[in-house]
Amino acid sequence: MEPLEIARILQSYNPWWSGKPSASLPDHHRRDYFHLRKVLESPEHKTIVISGPRQVGKTTIVRQLIQWALKKKAEDGTAKYEPNRIMYVTPEIVSNITGQNKALPGILSTYESLILKESLNAVSKNTIIFLDEIQKEQDWAETIKPYLDSNPEKLKFVVTGSSRLSLIENSAERLPGRHLPYVLLPLKFGDRLEFNHPEIPDLRALLLGQNGLREALTEGLKTGNIQPAYDQAARIVLAIDTGTQETIGRELDRHLQEGGYPQIVVSKDTASKYDTFKTYISDIASKDLEHSRKPELARKLLINLAKYNANKMVESEIREQTYGGLTGSPNTIQTYLDYLEQLAIIRRIYKNKSNKNIRQRKPKIYFADTGLRNSMLGYLDGELSSEEMGLLAETVALDHLLRFLFKVRGHANNIYFHQNGDQDKEVDFVIRNQHDQTVMAIEVKYRDSHVEKIEELRKLKEENPDMLAIVLTKNTLKMENGKILYLPLWLFLLAC
């Protein structure tokens, strides 16, 4: 295709080049948006690589970043970015229109010659290029690398990708200098609460005020001291009236049941929610699982995994349920499990520090989004049992714990469940540091009538006196002998 035709395609996706407004966007900004905006303003990272499951809002957040950049002012009051120096494109769409296997080189060449009228190797002014859904361009990192090599000062790339996250991240490793890998997941509970209840006072300011609960938890992770976290939690609880706490509780129950996919959060119709999740699951099974020649098998696997959520999984049982017998290949099931974990659809937590390659270890399996899991079992609506709500609370607690650990440690590795021998008693989540020391343990007791049944956590605290020990409850806030913090789940989720 001729460069002029490519330029016309680019113009249709960048209406601000002609002074026209871009498409309307949600007024709500999730917390990830503010973090990514800071990164764009920082000179530290020249490339941001945003990966994540499909439909979690990557394109929306990119368009919100573009909207911000178009309004951003420099120190002298002038526009920091001229409109034609902000380009958005989905290379796959250009490939489909032009019939080219690799569209990105032609896109960048056309942008240089017909839009900027200068080389990207030496742009004279601040320029940001947003490449959305890059996964079909296998050599995208090699394509943009020369531009970053020669012009690291004024040029930035923001890249998004679905499909297998590992492929996107591994490609990004080839980029020069510093790049920021960022996994975008379904909305956190705090985002959902702010989105659906803007009338609630600024909880974010309350959570961060006077050092903040997150900071107190971070300090407790280092020292094992729970007093600062208790003090901060008590300050917040006292500042929130009973009606607001009840609203938060109802919204939390909805979050446990429906999850955090943006389209689900804004939808009011249960039937449409089921239809939306059905489409997501179909796309995961038929498009995202690499080399999946049997999407129906993948769908069966997902449904069977949903039944094990927050429980130990035995691969031979999963294989028998999925294939209808033990005739299926264990390697196929293992490969699918690996892919689903790489896609951030499921998570596996192993006992203590057992070898992940030993399948007999029976990992506990969790879905990254409770709504996706519940849709496969018909649990999106109606009243669920207290036991089921407890498992969902454990699932959401893990999701937010992993995000908290990533923020404060730069990674979320070294997290396990604790169990002595083959006993039924266990501690839901145990976190170790790089020296293999247990520094944090969390037990989820969403039914307040059962918060005292934490014998295993007490034993673990005695063995590790410097460990931060937390029981996540429905509404209880207290300290036990200055050693164990009982914290409402909603407060923990908002702080993470």
The helix, strand and coil proportions of the chain, stated in percent and rounded to the nearest 5, come to 50, 15, 35
Least confident of 158-172, 232-246, 294-308: 158-172
Q: How far apart are CA 42 and CA 12, in angstroms?
A: 30
Supply the CATH number for residue 41's domain. 3.40.50.300
Q: Are residues 391 and 484 in the same domain?
A: yes
Answer for the pair 477, 233: CB distance below 8 angstroms, yes or no: yes
Q: Are residues 442 and 406 in the same domain?
A: yes
Assign 327 a pLDDT band (cuts: 50, 70, 90): low
- Per-residue pLDDT for 253 more than 80? yes
Supply the CATH number for residue 285's domain. 1.10.10.10
- Per-residue pLDDT for 303 more than 90? yes
Assign 434 a pLDDT band (cuts: 50, 70, 90): confident
Average of per-residue pLDDT across 272-297 = 84
Q: Which long-range contacts (CB under 8 A, 24 or more apart) does 5-10 make?
A: 5/98, 6/94, 6/98, 6/106, 6/107, 6/110, 7/110, 7/114, 7/115, 9/93, 9/94, 9/97, 10/87, 10/89, 10/107, 10/110, 10/111, 10/115
Q: Which of 354, 377, 400 is the last residue in one of the domains?
A: 377
- Per-residue pLDDT for 354 more than 60? no
Q: Are residues 368 and 390 in the same domain?
A: no
Q: Are residues 148 and 175 in the same domain?
A: yes
Residue 209 has what pLDDT?
65
Q: How far apart are CA 317 and CA 304, in angstroms?
A: 9
Average of per-residue pLDDT across 179-208 = 85
Assign 165 a pLDDT band (cuts: 50, 70, 90): low
Least confident of 106-110, 311-315, 362-366: 311-315
Range of the domain at 468: 191-264+385-495
Assign 369 a pLDDT band (cuts: 50, 70, 90): very high
Percentage of residues in the chain having pLDDT higher than 70: 90
Q: Are residues 415 and 486 in the same domain?
A: yes
Q: Are residues 140 and 224 in the same domain?
A: no
Q: Are residues 466 and 335 in the same domain?
A: no
- Per-residue pLDDT for 94 more than 70? yes
Using DSSP's 3-state secondary structure scheme, residue 99 falls into coil
How many domains, the chain?
A: 3
Q: Which of 183, 200, 229 is the last residue in one of the domains?
A: 183
Amino acid at 493: L
Name the average pLDDT for the chain.
Answer: 87
The DSSP result for 107-158, as a single string, is HHHHIIIIII-S-GGG-SS-EEEEE-S-TT-TTHHHHHHHHHHH-TTTEEEE
What is the rounded (10 degree) CA torsion for 311, 315, 319, 322?
20
Q: Are residues 67 and 177 in the same domain?
A: yes
Interval 138-160: pLDDT, tens: 788 889 888 888 876 789 999 99
Q: Are residues 154 and 294 in the same domain?
A: no
- What does the angle CA 483 – CA 488 – CA 493 come to, to the nearest 5 degrees? 110
Place of tokens 């839901």: 428
Average of per-residue pLDDT across 279-307 = 84
Residue 325 has what pLDDT?
65
Work out the number of other CB atoms within 10 angstroms of the CB of residue 459.
14
Answer for the pair 89, 81: CB distance below 8 angstroms, yes or no: no
Q: Are residues 118 and 212 in the same domain?
A: no
Q: Are residues 117 and 13 in the same domain?
A: yes
For residue 233, give the H/E element and its range. helix 227-239
Q: Which of 142, 165, 183 is the last residue in one of the domains?
A: 183
Average of per-residue pLDDT across 4-19 = 91
Q: Are residues 178 and 210 in the same domain?
A: no
- Per-residue pLDDT for 438 more than 60? yes
Residue 326 has what pLDDT?
58
Assign 176 a pLDDT band (cuts: 50, 70, 90): low
Residue 364 has what pLDDT?
94
